[in-house]
């Protein structure tokens, strides 16, 4: 990874005509130096059971190698061929909606032994065929693997077996999960009912965690097979993705990225996001922060991101460049488009690649060539950038599951991610760079501040470690509902917010929904004159003696209660907030918590849409990115001295700068 990778997904299989030579010539013109192939093409590779056809793979490998373009090969397992389903219909996954029907990808039962047997055979056959080809730099396991909401026989049986291993005694399980309620008690393992329709959130969340563990296990199983063939210099990666709301919205509920990434050499990811006037860079930032954290700050691959994408994403002039360098600014070592050309048939016809269906040199492609040139030219400065953040955001799949089981009021969908995004985006807009972590351990001490939104379910250990972190001098901004229930989603019967009560110095016994309720400030540094709505949830907070009230509710019945508090604990400090604040208020609470600290993560006094990122390159130089995430020109004063890498100009601190619509600058200091 001495140079930035600039890539595309490429499918010779899908071409309406033989384009290979023309495409490679055009890729070279674009600056493409890596392609990703083969994943999802099982039916082409093995058109009938045991009959193999490597025509497309062989010719692409050879041609790319000749052209000096590196290749990543994906195992083809995430879409099953018709003959396999015809022969073994049981390999299709069963969800609460019944068994899935043939047609889409990602509908197999990944814990089905028959599926595993066939998947292993095609992986081994493919690996054996191509393993020594010099074009190959790495391997991608499957693609966007998830558990596909599997409630099938193998998943259910495995889950019950895992509980049996955990609980010798059903009485303890009944107690931990509260199964006596509504006659859900289980007194014999033989009676264990299907989990799919349970009304017990403890059981549902345990099952959800088990489902994610099977994704981890499946990828580790593929990694082990692939590594039998892979050469030492080749990496093993996977293409993770995020909660999808028409784009990459939040933390992935169906995969534990942190656990699953253990099997990989390099973390890979796809990031898709709104574009045109809705382009903000927020998804690039949070997706990058999570993926960068999976392998402890190592650079990661953006294995897929949008070129033209959906019709509503066709990029405005400048946006494709802005996006590419935003990925780099988050620590990406590769920016690879989905995909080279636009598909002429089937599902993703309107998910357009760099080229349109006509393969012409369209405007988006033209902009891509400038990125390719700049990646090549600036790789000495921009490859292997490292973040040096001292602020971290704590996320948790377990808290997500539990909170989503108990959504406040009539909230719909993945409300955990709505909360996560609110906190993340507030920091992003405030130019606070964060890492994203999923646990507190000895590594955490390098962070000077933690932001903890919606940590609804957590075991005592994690909460104690948070308290300990604060006691040792850490700062924490802790959101409502945190600490409320244990790892089994049993609500704590202690004073709330459970164990966190000690560090936060605040408690509550009642809560309600805010109906047009606002908050007022009790602290001169916090301005609540606007953006002061309490949203989603409202804990009636009672500060301990010594705890400072930062905000109060403005309400005829609840005006006596605190809405946010600030307490010292040991060497540290914790702000607890009992409702969902708007972004500007979150950033004010963050400042109230950290104003006396000199944070590396605080990259600028400027605010969104002027977004800045500070990274360190392998020469130890500071790399300052300045992005204009707006359609209007921005004028501002430079906070840095150094060399503007794109123009080659020297910039001095205090100098007026201008960025045109969607323009950016990179200053090496």
**Is 254 annotated as contributing to ligand binding?**
no
Q: Closest CB to a second copy among 46 and 435?
A: 46
Do the Cβ atoms of 517 and 531 come closer than 8 Å? Answer: no
Residue 537 marked in a binding site: no
Task: Check residue 483 for interaction with a second copy (CB under 8 A).
Answer: no
Residues in Cβ contact with 384 at an 8 Å cutoff, skipping those fewer than 6 apart: 1, 2, 299, 333, 617, 618
User: What does each C-alpha distance from 292 to 247, 302, 451, 622 come to in angstroms?
Assistant: 20, 11, 18, 18
Which of 114, 198, 582, 584 is close enough to bind a second copy by CB under 8 A?
A: 198
Q: Which two tokens stand for residue 361?
A: 């040199």
- The Cβ of residue 511 has, within 10 Å, a number of other Cβ atoms equal to 18
Phi then psi for residue 432, to 5 deg, are -105, 115
Tell which one of 297, 570, 622, 631 touches a second copy (CB under 8 A).
631
Report the distance separating Cα 638 and Cα 656, nearest Å. 6
Select the residue interacting with a second copy from 169, 515, 596, 635 (CB under 8 A): 515
Q: Is 105 annotated for ligand binding?
A: yes
Of 29-37, 259-267, 347-355, 594-602: span binding a second copy (CB under 8 A): 347-355
Please report how close the Cβ of residue 385 comes to a second copy at its closest, in angstroms: 30
Q: What is the Cα–Cα distance from 135 to 67, expressed in whole angstroms?
A: 10
536: left (phi over 0), alpha (psi -120 to 50) or beta: left
Question: What x-and-dash track marks residues 401-420 binding a second copy by CB under 8 A?
Answer: -----x-xx-----------
Contact flag: residue 276 with a second copy (CB under 8 A)? yes
Question: Per the residue annotation, which of 39, 243, 283, 304 is the catalytic one?
Answer: 304
Assess whether 304 carries a catalytic annotation.
yes
Quick one: which of 25, 363, 637, 653 contacts a second copy (CB under 8 A)?
Answer: 363
Q: Which parts of 336-414 fold into alpha helices (H)?
A: 363-382, 397-405
> According to the binding rule CB under 8 A, does residue 360 interact with a second copy?
yes
Instruction: Please spell the DSSP secondary structure of 70-88, one letter per residue.
Output: EEEEE-STTS--HHHHHH-
Site string for a second copy, 433-472 (x = CB under 8 A): ----------------------------------------
Q: Which of 159, 177, 272, 576 binds a second copy (CB under 8 A)?
A: 177
Q: Decide whether 342 or 594 has the Cβ nearer to a second copy.
A: 342
Report, in Å, the least distance between residue 492 CB and a second copy.
Answer: 7
Give SS3 for 251: coil
> Looking up tokens 């018709």, which residue turns up?
82
Query: What is the Rg, in whole angstroms, of the alpha carbon atoms belonging to the chain?
Result: 26
The verdict on 490 binding a second copy (CB under 8 A) reads yes
39 is catalytic: no
Q: Give the DSSP H or E segment for 280.
A: none
Q: Which is nearer to a second copy, 561 or 590 (CB)?
A: 561
For residues 305 and 337, give the distance between their C-alpha atoms in angstroms, rounded to a whole number. 5
115: contact with a second copy by CB under 8 A: no
Kindly report the length of the chain.
669
* Per-residue tokens: 390: 């001292």
- Out of 218, 359, 416, 456, name the contact with a second copy by CB under 8 A: 359
What mask, x for binding a second copy by CB under 8 A, covers residues 299 to 318?
A: ---------x--xx-x-xx-
Annotated binding site for substrate: 105, 143, 313
Q: Which residues form the catalytic set?
A: 144, 304
Annotated binding site: 105, 143, 313
């Amino acid at each position: 990874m001495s140079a930035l990778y600039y890539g595309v997904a490429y499918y010779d299989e899908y071409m309406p005509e033989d384009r290979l030579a023309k495409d490679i010539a055009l890729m070279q013109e674009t600056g493409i130096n890596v392609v990703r192939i083969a994943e999802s093409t099982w039916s082409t590779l093995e058109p009938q059971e045991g009959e193999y056809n490597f025509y497309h793979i062989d010719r692409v490998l050879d041609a790319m190698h000749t052209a000096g373009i590196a290749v990543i090969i994906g195992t083809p397992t995430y879409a099953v061929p018709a003959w396999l389903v015809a022969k073994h219909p049981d390999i299709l996954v069963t969800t609460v909606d019944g068994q899935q029907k043939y047609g889409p990808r990602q509908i197999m039962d990944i814990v089905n032994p028959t599926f595993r047997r066939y998947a292993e055979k095609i992986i081994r056959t493919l690996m054996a065929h191509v393993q020594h080809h010099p074009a190959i730099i790495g391997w991608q396991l499957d693609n966007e693997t998830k558990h596909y909401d599997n409630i099938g026989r193998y998943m259910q049986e495995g889950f019950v077996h895992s509980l049996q291993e955990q609980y010798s005694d059903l009485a303890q399980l009944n107690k931990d999960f509260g199964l006596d309620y509504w006659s859900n008690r289980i007194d014999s393992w033989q009676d264990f009912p299907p989990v799919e329709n349970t009304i017990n959130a403890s059981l549902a969340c345990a099952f959800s965690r088990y489902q994610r563990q099977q994704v981890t296990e499946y990828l580790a199983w593929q990694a082990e097979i692939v590594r039998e063939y892979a050469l030492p210099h080749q990496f093993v990666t996977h293409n993770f993705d995020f909660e999808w709301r028409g784009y990459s919205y939040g933390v992935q509920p169906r995969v534990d990225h942190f656990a699953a990434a253990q099997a990989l050499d390099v973390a890979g990811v796809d990031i898709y996001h709104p574009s045109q006037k809705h382009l903000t860079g927020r998804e690039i930032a949070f997706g990058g922060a999570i993926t960068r954290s999976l392998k402890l700050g190592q650079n990661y691959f953006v294995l897929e991101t949008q070129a033209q994408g959906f019709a509503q994403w066709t990029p405005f002039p400048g946006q494709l460049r802005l996006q590419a360098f935003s990925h780099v600014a988050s620590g990406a070592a590769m920016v690879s488009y989905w995909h080279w050309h636009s598909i002429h048939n089937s599902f993703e016809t309107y998910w357009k690649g760099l080229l349109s269906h006509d393969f012409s040199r369209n405007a988006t492609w033209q902009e891509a060539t400038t990125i390719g040139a700049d990646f090549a030219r600036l790789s000495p400065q921009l490859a292997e950038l490292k973040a040096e953040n001292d602020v971290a955001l704590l996320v948790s799949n377990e808290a997500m599951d539990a909170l989503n089981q108990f959504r406040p009021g009539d909230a719909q969908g993945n409300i955990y991610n709505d909360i996560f995004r609110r906190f993340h985006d507030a920091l992003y807009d405030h130019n606070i760079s964060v890492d994203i972590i999923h646990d507190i351990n000895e590594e955490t001490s390098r962070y000077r501040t933690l932001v903890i939104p919606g940590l609804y379910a957590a075991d005592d250990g994690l909460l104690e470690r948070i308290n300990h972190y604060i006691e040792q001098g850490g700062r924490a901004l802790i959101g409502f509902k945190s600490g409320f229930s244990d790892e089994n989603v049993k609500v704590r019967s202690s004073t709330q917010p459970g164990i966190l009560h000690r560090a936060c110095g605040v408690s509550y016994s009642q809560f309600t929904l805010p109906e047009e309720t606002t908050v007022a400030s009790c602290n001169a540094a916090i301005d609540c004159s606007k953006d002061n709505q309490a949203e989603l949830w409202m804990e009636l907070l009672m500060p301990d003696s010594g705890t400072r009230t930062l905000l109060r509710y403005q309400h005829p019945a609840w005006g006596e209660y605190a809405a946010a508090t600030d307490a010292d604990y040991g060497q540290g400090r914790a702000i607890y907030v009992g409702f969902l604040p708007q972004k500007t208020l979150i950033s004010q609470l963050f400042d109230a918590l950290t104003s006396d600290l000199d944070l590396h993560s605080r990259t600028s006094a400027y605010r969104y849409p002027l977004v800045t990122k500070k990274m360190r390159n392998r020469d130890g130089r500071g790399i300052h990115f300045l992005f204009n995430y707006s359609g209007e020109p921005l004028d501002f004063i430079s906070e840095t001295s150094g060399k503007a890498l794109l123009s080659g100009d020297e910039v001095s601190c205090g100098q007026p700068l201008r960025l045109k619509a969607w323009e950016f600058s990179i200053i090496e200091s």
